[in-house]
Structure 1
Amino acid sequence: MPEASKIVKAASAILLDFDGPVTRLMPPSVAATAAEAARRGLFNAAVPVPQSLKKSKDHLEVLRHAGTLDRVAIRMTDDACIKAEVAAAAKAEPTPGVREMLKAAARRGQEVVIISNNAPEAIEAFLNRTDLAGYVGLVIGRPPRRPDLMKPNPFMVRGALTRIGTPADGAVMVGDSTVDMQAARAAKVPAVGFARTPGRIKPLFEAGADDVTEDMAELA
């Protein structure tokens, strides 16, 4: 949508989610494998898996649960998630249009920061493998052993703004999930949603998106 492009181009800094806008890190089959690995982390910590998580295909949902438990459960589940994400990053491909968007941001002199609930190890491995690292000034992945600080908590968004010295109204968050929009809103940062499918448009607006695009190249 034209408004999404205007919002992104007007910002001095782009805060970019990873899984979705940059790459589809966790397609269904990979997501299921990662979730099972996270459950094994709980099992290895001698923690029973709640019934509600036994069939979950979201490894971060399992990690959030581990965050309510003891340090051993958090460590073992987080380690399992990191390993699964790094493995996924070794095979993932860039989202169509994101390379063009990143190149355009570089030409405009915009700072690009990746802010993700994924591990920084996986993000950096992907960026280096796909030759996109040169377009990203800073990577902020989920804090080690602190799943409680993942989005929608605005902790990482506020931390990014502090590190790059940009006010909230001088940045824009681009993400494909409702937690991205919620974190941006909590930090008072404008937000643009990326909808991979039409069914994602309404939830992104409801979560606080200023506008939504279905094509990352539109933000170039």
Structure 2
Amino acid sequence: MSLFNENNSTALGTGLLCPAGSVADKSVLGNFRRYKARVAGSYRAVLPDEITKTLASGKHWVSPKVDGELWYLVLGDGAPFLASPQGKVIAGSVPLLEEAGAVASKVACRTIIAGELFAAVKSGRPRVGDLKSALGGGPDAEVQRLGFSAFDLLEGGTKESQMPLDDYNERLAVLQQLFDGGKRIKAIATHECNTGDEIN
């Protein structure tokens, strides 16, 4: 049984865009929603001059801001696809998903990866408006611009290392192993810092 349905899908370049509510598997959709509420929902902005005052000493993982939208990459249970927390789905012949297909053989079972879906730009930092533009246009959508910056592992993993992995370093190592050398999909560059001064 497919994890999503293609009812009411529209063309997205040479792939498909399925509307919100298209993820049919309730456990998978619940996993998406719990992750967003637990992790992404607890993010907060900290201004540079507040970092040393706000963050306690201890282990912190720091990564660059990628301006797109939270989506999930699903591997190892049929053809790879992307899904949003609301159950929208991107599937089919999209360059990013074709790259994901080459990685799928490395996973041991169904694997769900959280990351930022973004659209590459010629100069400057990608913005969320660039993603909206790339996803527009139906059959003319610029799907070749889509990229995925993987930042967490929700389910599954490789034969050597599978969830549950409580230590973020272990989950990050799985992402780095899966996407080493990737063009459109990469594990986000992450640095471990121990004080606010190191972050700032």
Q: State TM-score, norm by structure 2.
A: 0.29
Answer 1 or 2: which has greater strand percent: 2
Answer 1 or 2: which has greater helix percent: 1
Q: State TM-score, norm by structure 1.
A: 0.28
